[in-house]
Structure 1
Amino acid sequence: MSARIELENLSKRYPGSPSPAVDDVSMEIRPGETVVLVGPSGCGKSTTLRMINRLIEPSSGRIRIDGEDVTRIDPVRLRREVGYAIQSSGLFPHMTVAENIALVPRMLGWSRARVRERVEEMLVLVGLDPGEFHGRYPRRLSGGQQQRVGVARALAADPPVLLMDEPFGAVDPITRDHLQDELVRLQRELRKTIVFVTHDLDEAIRLGDRIAVLRERSRIAQFDTPEAILTGPADDFVSGFVGAGAALKRLNLTRLRDVRIGAFPTVSVDDPRRTVLGRPADGPHGELLVLDRHRRPRAWLRRGDLARAEGFPARAGRAVRTTVTRDATLRDALEAVLLDPAGRVAVTGRRGEYAGVVDMGTLMAAVHGMLEADRAAAAGRPREGRPHRAERERGA
């Protein structure tokens, strides 16, 4: 369930201020689309977002959700029907995880059984074990876990629209990358209409189907796909905001699920020595990838390692320290490949199961494909490269 959002000549003026905080903004956001508002601090992007659910009342203009003017909707009802996730999660500290997630469904009068089922469903959806986290309080959660619960609470009543105001800004970079990948995965499954505010262009590129680069007072400098903004900034302001390294930023536009991932010979921790010795190896070191009983990558194994481990792969090899998921970007994969001694990294699915291996050759082939697509676009030919994310997901 998703909805169309229309902003029409939207403005916000505060008493005593000589100029508006938001000035005459018009924008249409398509159903199921993730639109990211990005711009310098103080440009009015959060104010624009908060007017959509009337946490801030607009001074003039209109906001429509699926054609309905939100200024004519009771603001309390509106906020119950629009999901909202903020920085530092905004969880109520005196409520358990389950109570936080159940808050809006209970306000909407859902039955206890339905609420209980929904809480468990939401915890699973955001990757948290219901048995472990159901009764915890926010103070007993890490920052990343708190943000996951915050997203679960925002989605609990199944709203068509999700507003996200710098939700990952207060966590460390590694956790932020994981949360961004989780949001991409969730959006692929749920296809909500998401409006996301950030000051970080790299985050906008990773998440957005379209990006609105905002000047002061939320005036739109460019509203386009990440590809178009990186390869064709509308003016000097956008070009300056994109900054140097646009080619590297483009690596955030493609995810591993969109490229061909190589296979690698695997064995199980339970396989006997004769099975392992009979399996063809790969790579410059003649290795096999050992998988555990859940098919998760466990170790890189050379045949010589078997002698030191009495013939059992469960006791041999070099432990797999790093993996990347199918939702990881090419930039994530490049960093992992560069840090690996053998120049490759295992790719995993949602539950950590083995999906393939990516190496520098895979990444170079993908980059060359993007460059060819850029050349075709520059020459006025139809692009045959990576489709726009929203088009790709709709076609899946």
Structure 2
Amino acid sequence: MFDRLAAIARRYDEVSERLCDPAVVSNVAKLREYSKEQAELAPTVEAYRHFKQVGEQIQEAKQMLQEKLDEEMREFLRAELSELEDEQQKVTDELQMLLLPRDPNDDKNVFLEVRSAAGGDEAALFASQLLRMYSRYAERQRWKAEVIDASYTELGGLKEATLSIQGQGAYSKLKWESGTHRVQRVPVTESGGRIHTSTATVAVLPEVEDIEVDINEKDIRVDTFCSTGPGGQSVNTTQSAVRITHMPTGIVVSCQDEKSQLKNRDKAMRVLRARLYEKYEMEQQQELAAQRKGQVGTGDRSERIRTFNFPQSRVTDHRVGLTSHRIESILDGDLDEIIQALHLAERTEKLAAAAEA
């Protein structure tokens, strides 16, 4: 482990030197590349340097204990040594975590897709609540969130929507939201007071660059139409909304939130790249599917991950067994408790896998 840490520290110093090179400073692409690498290496290098510093302090304390000292000073040094050894173990654990394989998509922006599933109008109303929940969470994180495309029911529920979320580490925090979300409550359309169970699905896609997914213009069909709002009413009379169909895969993407057809086409292409990236990645990972079904789950939208029970004001994440009775706060975007539990579960699983390797 320590040979690897030393190599990372050397690489960090090399990158830092290059960032001072006028040739790099004047090259925007190179400057961005090295700045990103430096930022990624920095937490590991800082922890490694702290580990070495604590190690040196431990050695100094041990050497002093070998000298002729009064009992009061010895007791002080023993207490200090104990604290330093605890700190050393803490930093060692941190370094082990920092050296675990990192998801290359963690720093990316995301496209979050919400769809109503089983339950008719009630499922659509629940889907609209989930869309608001993620929008509020993005606000709490000071991320930028905008609805790329949405289709509503007559009652104001949501058939499906695509939400663009741009912010540092968006994918790292939202990637576990993919799956089936279940709601148990008395629907507003239910006169008998019976509790119904409905579902909505969520898919979280990392936004990818052009170079990561190559789309041939001959493989897409672009259609334009007038944008619509809730209930299907026309929003404008110009053909500004865009629908793109990827012929080889049959994937269809729409965007209508901009008044400009060109802007809608650009956003639709961004969503298409994300969906194709997900499709290709899932195909490559199929053979590892059994291994990926760990404590946190696969992230597949067909997997039931969470239940919102309104009569008991309860939210349960089935993957980690977490139950919270703050349903209103969670639906208002306070997802930190759940996301932190999922993050901890992933780290624990990775550490266990690394120990077995």
Highest CA radius of gyration, 1 or 2? 2
Is the TM value for this pair above 0.5? Answer: no
Provide TM-score, normalisation by structure 1.
0.26
Provide TM-score, normalisation by structure 2.
0.28
